[in-house]
Amino acid sequence: MVKISVLQHAPSSHLPSRPGDPTPTSRNLDPLMHPFAKARERTRALNAAKIERIFAKPFVAALEGHLEAVETMSRRPESLTAIASGSWDGGLVVHDIAERTHLMRVNDAHKGKVTGVCFADEHRLLSCGVDRNVKLWDTREVDENGAGPSEARKPLSIFPGKTAFNSIDHHRSDPVFATASTIVQVWDETKSAPISNLTFPTSTETISAVKFNLAESSVLASIGSDRTFTLYDIRTGKAERRVVMQMRSNALSWSPTFPTSVLLASEDHNLYTFDVRNLSNPSHIYKGHVAAVTSCDWSPTGLEFVSGGWDRTVRIWKEGVGTQPEVYHTKRMQRVTSTLFSADARFVLSGSDDGNLRIWKAKASEKLGIVTTRERAAIEYRDSLREKWKFDPEVGKISRTRHVPKPVHKASQLKRTMLDARRVKEERRRKHTRAGDSKPKAERKRVVVAEQS
Amino acid sequence: MDSLFAKADAIRPVSKRRKTDKDDRRSKPSGSKQTEGGHDKTLNSVAHHTALPPSLRPSSPPPEGVKKYNHIANPKLRTQLTRQSNLAARQKALLKDAELLLTEDAGMIEVEGELEKTWRVSQSEVTQAAGQEAAKGRKEWVLDGGPYRSRYTRNGRHLAIVGKKGHVATFDWQTGTMHSELQLGETCRDITFLHDHSHYAVAQKKYVFIYDRDGVELHRLKSHIEPTRLEFLPYHWLLASVGNSGWLKYQDTSTGKVVTEHRTKLGACTTMAQNQHNAVIHLGHQNGTVTLWTPNLPHPAVRLLAHLGPVVGLSVDPSTGGRYMATSGQDGSVKVWDCRNWKGAVREWKTRGGGAELEWSQKGVLAVATGGSVNTYAKPAIQASFTGSVQPPLYLTHPIPHRPLVSVRFCPFQDILTVGHAAGLSSILVPGAGEPNFDSTEADPFENKRARREREVKTLLDKIQPDAITLDPEFVGSLAPEPKLTTAVNDKTDLTFARLPRLERLRVSGKADETEDGADAGAAEGSDGEAQPARTSKAEKEKKKMRGKNKSLKRYLRKQRKNVIDPKAVAVREKLEKQRAERKKAIAIARGEAEPRKPSALDRFRRPT
């Protein structure tokens, strides 16, 4: 007896049971059922890369309020939106970046430029300037005297110093702050004179920036005009270590997640991270700027950081990836003098020579606003596709290429040529000297000139 | 300062783990107390951002047989590669699990005992045994207007038919809904649906015309002159046509541009098939050659003398990923070819009644329509290599008296074979021909209007560029071959290190991953087990090399480029191989594991080695 069965699809399992129901779908993962799976996935990856570049519109807003270059910025602890900024014209503004309004505005906070601002706590703001004063302000909408945001305010207190201040930073928990002038001074908020002076013996430099460590809050780091990076401990009241580098640093920032990691923005176009346990060489070099890097700031996640440079660009780097940062620029943005990550790590702020404070998205193609689940899934799928196919020449090229202004492009070309030529010259020189006479030195080992303690 | 370091050690940056781990244990056993408290703010913040999402967390130990990357020095890269291959292995395992979800069973005919034959089963028996729905597939369309050709959509729901005298109709054969019916009044030679049933193309007397679902003429493709056969490549959105002038033309139906035109130089062509798995067009010609075409090559990728006399039927097996091709000649011979190796046919046989139309079903049933009957052959027999020209075991056969039989088409996802002939079309049931489980993302017979529209957009977005068509569809995303050009002469360059290309810089500094190359060399040099330490620079190797022990041949071989087939080097390699085998044998004999060969009288005729 021959057994015969003929294929038959039961409509009940493939058609919606009631009108309006979705049609049931069925899957068969046999690769023969999916010809060109790889080629189609590549096409999808290519589209994903293109879509990502199409949606990459990072500029959000420009905040006005200063007449001259924005020298310094600081975010309020425990707040996502409040940002204080100080300018060369002596003005001091606390911005609400969500509302794009001013929470506080003092036009002549200091005579000459405001060189540093930082929040003492939720409502009080410290600022220092070249007029040799540190001032403590109340940032509340209506302070005790009844002065509104735009009226002339009086500082809560003034701490007079002997020399112009370059930077200020507040202790994380104690009512103590540190200032940088020719020496590092530690002040108590309740006393009008510094409680201690910290300086490295034999140092005669000008300190340009000072920052407290975020985890071990009594440790302090400073950079100075003698191309130095110095570590202090305010409990011992001493400078612990000092490093002299090839070029001076312009800004520094402690990593929020790795307490021993510190980021330096150097005059030699590079950024360096140091592990303070081993100061003989930097743990990473970040190359990309084509002019001096003037400012840097870590993201609160510690996975990225932002830097602004003399080349009129803002760059966002991934921790541990030394090349190809995200580059932001606009026609009207001049030399970037200060940069800051927002507290939710979604935005980046840059203050520049043109007196504007600009808000950028930290991820250029991120969508602001409500993202539905389906949209989120699609975005994540596209991201993983780009990641998977990044070694494909076309996909990689699209997602890597950044348009930069012509001067920056030309400068980077020139820089590459010069560096190559220097490298080749060194090679040739080595070739024609006695073997082993001059060994090549890794670039990492060349950064630090001397380590002192 | 020390407290800062202690805090850092409690977190332990990944890259520094090895160093700090030891220090920690030796000097500060109390250091771990901080983490036990669970109130370390920094640690908590790190944990949140460094945690692996649950979907990526390994739920089980990595599957076995995963490739190891121990030879790669860079730890970051090694970890990434290991993770990737683990992920791939897991995916494969999960894919196997997903087979449980295939619910529907394929059709079949099962016989008990030797005396029963499947080919004795007639269509009436099959129809009786089939279910009510399936039995609807057995149909006879009696139509005027000459021999008919037909084509199904990719989901098997819609059928387009065209008669020689110009009768064109498209309809949903399951519900019996007619979409369009045209009397074109001129010779029509072929028809094909485009991406779905909303458009179809007809090869008419002079040009190819595109009609929409309702039969409205949308385009006249003037560049396709006197077309005889049409094929649509669904993933590339290409309409390929070949005509009496012998030109193969590709038209992109999404942009409307003619992509390429190939002059076959082999005269009028009436036989065409596509390989669904690599989108290569197969053409059969009057002089008995079969040529394989891709848009990016101006000449055929493969040219094959298949028959003595014209080729009249062609089909590529979709069930094996396009590995087998069947051809039939005017003289009635049918041949099955292995597309990986064109050295002669795998199987060939003669049919009665001259030129045969061929079609291979999704599950690998081959239908051959010759003379007055349709024969079908099932899978393992037709693809097994067989010398001699005996017909393979017949699966089913069905007589159709209306000669000539001009087209055979299997319906996708059904056990139906539609045969076009002089008196119309007849559909017969061939159990086991159709794939039972369809995938809704590719082709769904039950899809509704919205799903169809969505799929149209999705496939348009996923359209593959025509120049990506090659014989090997897997080349996309594979590694580029290593460049053969090099600036080095005898491993020495006059360029400075900084000017060298990256690969050579790596090679000079001894960091290039030449493990595969090394393994190859190890095999060539013999199984003496010279386990080289993983990373020694070239100079060091040369220095440590044993000299004066008859290694000139080996050195010669090493210096030969691996990718160049030089007869001399091949001969040397063979000789070495033979010597090694002899040595091995001698050792085995000495140990008593093998017996020495006894001399025989025939040894005098042996070729001296």
At B296, which CATH number?
Answer: 2.130.10.10
- Hey, which of A41-50, A231-240, B547-556 has the most confident mean pLDDT? A41-50
CA distances from B420 to B170, B374, B512 (A): 15, 11, 62
CATH number at residue A241: 2.130.10.10
Confidence of residue B550 (pLDDT cuts 50, 70, 90): low
**Would A446 be classed as within a structural domain?**
no
My answer on whether B55 and B89 are in the same domain is yes
Place of tokens 């087998």: B324
Closest-CA distance, A68 to chain B, in angstroms, reads 37
**Would A413 be classed as within a structural domain?**
no
Who wins on pLDDT, A346 or A439?
A346
Confidence of residue B567 (pLDDT cuts 50, 70, 90): confident
User: What does the block give as tokens for B526?
Assistant: 């013999």
Who wins on pLDDT, B537 or B575?
B575
What's the CA gap between B417 and B415, in Å, rounded? 7
Strands of A345-395, DSSP E: 347-352, 357-361
Interchain pair B446, A23: CB under 8 A: yes
3-state SS assignment for residue A148: coil
- Percentage of chain A beyond pLDDT 70 is 98
Who wins on pLDDT, A316 or B353?
A316
**Would A127 be classed as within a structural domain?**
yes
What's the CA gap between B146 and B140, in Å, rounded? 15
The pLDDT of A255-274, averaged and rounded, is 96
Measured from the Cβ of residue B192, the count of other Cβ atoms closer than 10 Å reads: 23
The pLDDT of A220-230, averaged and rounded, is 95
Radius of gyration, alpha carbons of chain B: 33
Closest-CA distance, B431 to chain A, in angstroms, reads 5
What is the residue range of B171's domain?
144-305
| Residues belonging to chain B | 609
Lowest mean pLDDT across A8-12, A45-49, A367-371: A8-12
Q: What is the DSSP string of B451-480?
A: HHHHHHHHHHHTPPPGGG--S-GGGTTSPP
Which pLDDT does position B58 carry in this prediction?
Answer: 59
Strands of A120-200, DSSP E: 124-129, 133-138, 157-160, 167-170, 176-180, 184-188, 194-198
My answer on whether B430 and B298 are in the same domain is no
Which pLDDT does position A101 carry in this prediction?
Answer: 92
My answer on whether B30 and B93 are in the same domain is yes
Q: Which of A66, A116, A71, A135 is nearest to A95 (CA)?
A: A66
Which pLDDT does position B35 carry in this prediction?
Answer: 42
My answer on whether B243 and B256 are in the same domain is yes
Residue of A nearest to B11 (CA): A258
Interchain pair A4, B137: CB under 8 A: no
What's the CA gap between B234 and B242, in Å, rounded? 17
**Would A2 be classed as within a structural domain?**
no
The H or E element that residue B375 is part of is strand B373-377
Which pLDDT does position B529 carry in this prediction?
Answer: 40
My answer on whether B178 and B246 are in the same domain is yes
What's the CA gap between A218 and A260, in Å, rounded? 13
Residue of B nearest to A38 (CA): B476
Confidence of residue B282 (pLDDT cuts 50, 70, 90): very high
The pLDDT of B56-80, averaged and rounded, is 78
Interchain pair A38, B431: CB under 8 A: no
Interchain pair A23, B11: CB under 8 A: no
Instruction: Indicate the pTM of the whole model.
Output: 0.82
Number of domains forming the structure of chain B? 5
Q: What is the DSSP string of A191-234?
A: -SSEEEEE--TT--PPEEEEEE-SSSTTEEEEEETTTEEEEEET
Which pLDDT does position B517 carry in this prediction?
Answer: 44
What's the CA gap between A162 and A156, in Å, rounded? 20
What's the CA gap between B59 and B77, in Å, rounded? 23
The pLDDT of B119-137, averaged and rounded, is 92
Confidence of residue B518 (pLDDT cuts 50, 70, 90): very low
Which pLDDT does position B495 carry in this prediction?
Answer: 75
What's the CA gap between A313 and A318, in Å, rounded? 16
Place of tokens 């791939």: B88
Could you say which of B305, B321, B356 is where a domain stops? B305
A22 DSSP 8-state letter: P
Number of domains forming the structure of chain A? 1
| Residues belonging to chain A | 453
Whether B256 shows a pLDDT value over 50: the answer reads yes
What is the residue range of A264's domain?
59-361
What's the CA gap between B237 and B457, in Å, rounded? 12
Interchain pair B8, A258: CB under 8 A: yes
CA-based end-to-end distance of chain B: 79
What's the CA gap between A327 and A341, in Å, rounded? 15
**Would B80 be classed as within a structural domain?**
yes
**Would B113 be classed as within a structural domain?**
no
Tell which of B42, B55, B84, B126 to mutate to test the A interface (max A CBs under 10 Å).
B42
- What integer best gives the mean pLDDT of chain A? 93
Interchain pair A6, B130: CB under 8 A: yes
Strand partners, B347: B336
Measured from the Cβ of residue B11, the count of other Cβ atoms closer than 10 Å reads: 21
Condensed to tens digits (0 to 9), the pLDDT of residues A346-357 reads 999 999 999 999
My answer on whether B212 and B315 are in the same domain is no
Name every residue whose Cβ is closer than 8 Å to that of residue A187 and which is 6 or more positions away in sequence: A134, A159, A176, A177, A178, A179, A193, A194, A195
My answer on whether B540 and B492 are in the same domain is no
Lowest mean pLDDT across A152-156, B7-11, B506-510: B7-11
A/B interface, count of CB pairs below 8 Å: 201
Confidence of residue A435 (pLDDT cuts 50, 70, 90): confident
My answer on whether B498 and B558 are in the same domain is no
Which pLDDT does position A152 carry in this prediction?
Answer: 72
My answer on whether B177 and B235 are in the same domain is yes
CA distances from A45 to A51, A99, A383 (A): 10, 37, 9
Lowest mean pLDDT across B225-239, B436-450, B563-577: B563-577
Place of tokens 């003379």: B371
Interchain pair B277, A32: CB under 8 A: yes
Nearest to A34 among B102, B107, B442 (CB): B442
Condensed to tens digits (0 to 9), the pLDDT of residues B138-193 reads 999 999 998 999 999 999 999 999 999 999 999 999 999 999 999 999 999 999 99
What's the CA gap between B575 and B192, in Å, rounded? 58
Interchain pair A43, B101: CB under 8 A: no
My answer on whether B149 and B171 are in the same domain is yes
Residue of A nearest to B448 (CA): A23
- What integer best gives the mean pLDDT of chain B? 84
B442 DSSP 8-state letter: T
Measured from the Cβ of residue A446, the count of other Cβ atoms closer than 10 Å reads: 11
Which pLDDT does position A153 carry in this prediction?
Answer: 82
Closest-CA distance, A13 to chain B, in angstroms, reads 10
Lowest mean pLDDT across A269-283, B281-295, B400-414, B553-567: B553-567
Interchain pair A7, B16: CB under 8 A: no
Confidence of residue B89 (pLDDT cuts 50, 70, 90): confident
Which pLDDT does position B536 carry in this prediction?
Answer: 63
Which pLDDT does position B36 carry in this prediction?
Answer: 46
**Chain A residues lying within 8 Å of B376, measured CB to CB:** none
Name every residue whose Cβ is closer than 8 Å to that of residue A169 and which is 6 or more positions away in sequence: A116, A118, A177, A178, A210, A211, A212, A220
**Would B447 be classed as within a structural domain?**
no
What's the CA gap between A171 and B361, in Å, rounded? 77
Task: Please write down the long-range contacts of B244-253, taking CB distance under 8 Å and 24 or more positions apart.
Answer: B244/B268, B244/B269, B248/B281, B248/B283, B248/B293, B249/B223, B249/B224, B250/B295, B250/B466, B251/B221, B251/B223, B251/B224, B252/B466, B253/B194, B253/B195, B253/B199, B253/B210
A329 burial (CB, 10 Å; 0-12 / 13-18 / 19+) is buried
Residue A82: φ, ψ to 5°: -85, 125
Which pLDDT does position A48 carry in this prediction?
Answer: 97
Strand partners, B409: B418
- Percentage of chain A beyond pLDDT 90 is 83
What's the CA gap between A366 and A345, in Å, rounded? 12
User: What does the block give as tokens for B172?
Assistant: 């949903």
Confidence of residue B604 (pLDDT cuts 50, 70, 90): confident
User: What does the block give as tokens for A281?
Assistant: 């060489």
SS (H, E, C) A273-303: EEECCECCCCCEEEECCCCCEEEEEECCCCC
Could you say which of B375, B409, B436 is where a domain stops? B436
My answer on whether B274 and B370 are in the same domain is no
Measured from the Cβ of residue B291, the count of other Cβ atoms closer than 10 Å reads: 23
Whether B12 shows a pLDDT value over 70: the answer reads no
Pairing, β B405-410 against β A238-245: unpaired
My answer on whether B79 and B135 are in the same domain is no
What's the CA gap between A64 and A53, in Å, rounded? 29
CA distances from A326 to A404, B15, B453 (A): 11, 25, 38
**Would A66 be classed as within a structural domain?**
yes
Torsion of CA B263, B266, B268, B273, to 10 degrees: -80
Condensed to tens digits (0 to 9), the pLDDT of residues A376-409 reads 999 999 999 999 999 999 999 999 999 999 999 9
